[in-house]
Amino acid sequence: MKITVTAEKRDVKGTGASRRLRRNGKVPGILYGNHKDAVSILLDSKTLHQQFHKEAFHASILELSTDGTKESVLLRDYQLEPVKGTILHVDFQRVNQNEKIHVNVPFHFINEDIAKGVKLEGGVISHIMTEVDIACLPKDLPQFIEVDLEDLGLGESVHLSELKLPEGVEITALTEENDPAITSIVKPKVQKADDPLTASEEAGEDDVSDGDSSSEASDESSNEEPKEE
């Protein structure tokens, strides 16, 4: 199901104008690409935040409706307020259906809990990569790439070349010389527990603590200023 983003053209520009728009519940943005002029746009903040938190919003072709004109776009960039996490600005790129696009697509790891190296050999899963850059035509863009870990054993890894890709999709970083691992199953790290204190050591600590507190009390009483008569 395609996500539709509603926008309107924005006439006012500049830092001050953008601040006023945000105070009024709007998010400024820009639309560019596909050999057309860039257009400044304006989006509803509440609606945009609801769509923004969907994974598909970041890795699928969106339908941008600007004053009734609909175009296929990709979310290309955004700025977030560092403390509150609110959206300050968004960039959308127009998509040509006949030209390949480059998009970062997330991995969906499945069967982690029943992976051989976890269930039978006591290992833990280590994710080295969580997304990958792919190239494809817009019609072939997957929202995610599935990685099945059921048969992965302890000490084994899954590499880019082992992924099952949809037809028409290629991984841009994969070459004969470059085939990095994206996930593996490793031995869990063993943490050395501190030796427990003996009863005598605990009693000794209590004695010292009591002595310190009484000493502090005497020091405090000796340091009291004389009352004025």
What's the farthest any 2 CA atoms get from each other in the chain?
97
pLDDT of amino acid 212: 47
C-beta of residue 126 within 8 angstroms of C-beta of residue 183: yes
C-beta of residue 87 within 8 angstroms of C-beta of residue 48: yes
The Cα 158–Cα 132 span in angstroms is: 14
Q: Which residues pair with 9 in a beta bridge?
A: 41
CA dihedral 80, 85, 88, 94 (to 10 degrees): 60
The Cα 16–Cα 39 span in angstroms is: 19
Going by pLDDT thresholds of 50, 70 and 90, the confidence category of residue 226 is very low
Going by pLDDT thresholds of 50, 70 and 90, the confidence category of residue 218 is very low
Place of tokens 């051989």: 116
Pick from 86-90, 119-123, 142-146, 204-208: least confident = 204-208
pLDDT of amino acid 193: 60
Indicate whether 204 pLDDT > 60.
no
Q: How far is C-alpha 34 from the geometric centre of its chain's CA atoms? A: 28
Mean predicted confidence (pLDDT) in 76-93:
95
The Cα 134–Cα 170 span in angstroms is: 6
Helix (H, G, I), strand (E, B) or coil at 121: coil
Helix (H) or strand (E) holding 217: helix 199-222
The Cα 20–Cα 10 span in angstroms is: 13
Query: Is the pTM above the cut of 0.85?
Result: no
Measured between alpha carbons, how far apart are the two ends of the chain, in Å? 86
Which DSSP category does 189 fall into?
Answer: P
DSSP string covering 22-73? HHTTEEEEEEEETTEEEEEEEEEHHHHHHHHTSGGGGSS-EEEEETTEEEEE
pLDDT of amino acid 216: 45
- Reported as a single tens digit per residue, the pLDDT across 25-50 is 999 999 999 999 999 999 999 999 99
Mean predicted confidence (pLDDT) in 147-152:
97
Nearest to 145 by CA among 101, 183, 104, 107: 107
Helix (H) or strand (E) holding 171: strand 170-171
Indicate whether 90 pLDDT > 90.
yes
What domains, with CATH codes, occur in the chain?
3-95 (2.40.240.10), 102-186 (2.170.120.20)
pLDDT of amino acid 222: 42
The Cα 227–Cα 229 span in angstroms is: 6
